[in-house]
Amino acid sequence: MDTKVLVEGRAFLEGPRWREDRLWFSDVPAGEVLTVDMDGRCETVAAIEGSPSGLGWLPDGTLLVARGVPAAVVAVPASGQVRIHADLTGVAEFPPNDMVVDSSGRAWLGTCDIGGIPKPSVSQIICVEPDGSAWVADTDMRFPNGSVITPDGQTLIVAETFGAALTSFDLGSGGLTGKRQWASVPGCLPDGICLDAEGAVWLADAGGQAAVRVRQGGEVLERVDVGRGCYACTLGGPDGRTLFLLTGEFGPPGRALETRPGRIETVTVDVPGAGSP
């Protein structure tokens, strides 16, 4: 499957979410949250210094953004006035990265020891409640990255980049229970992920320059090669069958801003998206 370039000339892109007929995403080094339509028209939603990444929405439509430095979840209401939703100082051991928000407004986000690559320390999943209070839900994650919630709202699946695995939890009112391996993906560095209507996961393989579709248990069903680093993906578009791939080069933020290698590429797949995102 050949991809098409929808957006190029950005720095380093993360957190893609399809909503309101547009793709929402963060440009991390540029400190921006943006949208793009299917014709490639980009608009800036908010300027957020400090490495914005994962995106999600509260039930009232307020946009939440995971911010790396200083650690926080930032809220962007319809008015556009950016405010702190949750100050994670003293809670997050490492910078927050990817995030998913459940139907009740709880934000589940991973923290990543980026400075420790290629041998990062284990880190956390943090839950931010709708009122902005935060607590640590898991302390033994191997670089938690992309995350999804199944359509029934009962299961959280998280990519563990340096664990070469997808890990799942039962998602209940009391927190995360039943931690287990959803799929082993040896040889992959799973980064951003999304779920489709057949229950399979598309993962961005940061080391393999591809997006890979896997079934629970780890069977590889499809692969889209992009020939460059692939760091996040999501399904969307008018019929849910457009796979958006965020590609580029991982490196120092200053270099990313200077060389601007970040792209959004697209390819049409057979099975539409499901769950959140």
Could you give all domains of the chain from N- to C-terminal order, each with its CATH number? 4-268 (2.120.10.30)
Looking at residue 246, what is its pLDDT? 98
Strands 83-87 and 96-101: unpaired
Asked if 13 and 30 touch (Cβ cutoff 8 Å), the reply is no
Q: What is residue 108's three-state secondary structure?
A: strand
Give the side-chain half-sphere CA count within 13 A for 20: 7
Mean pLDDT check: name the lowest of 116-120, 200-204, 254-258: 254-258
Confidence of residue 78 (pLDDT cuts 50, 70, 90): confident
Asked if 215 and 183 touch (Cβ cutoff 8 Å), the reply is yes
Phi, psi (rounded to 5 degrees) for 113: -85, 75
Residue 79 clears pLDDT 90, i.e. is over it: no
| pLDDT tens-place string over residues 126-171 | 999 999 999 999 999 999 999 999 999 999 999 999 999 999 999 9
CA dihedral of residues 67, 178, 185, 93 (deg, nearest 10): 30
Looking at residue 254, what is its pLDDT? 87
Residue 234 clears pLDDT 90, i.e. is over it: yes
Query: Tokens 């399809």 sit at which residue?
Result: 18
Average pLDDT over residues 232-241: 98
Single pTM value for the model: 0.96
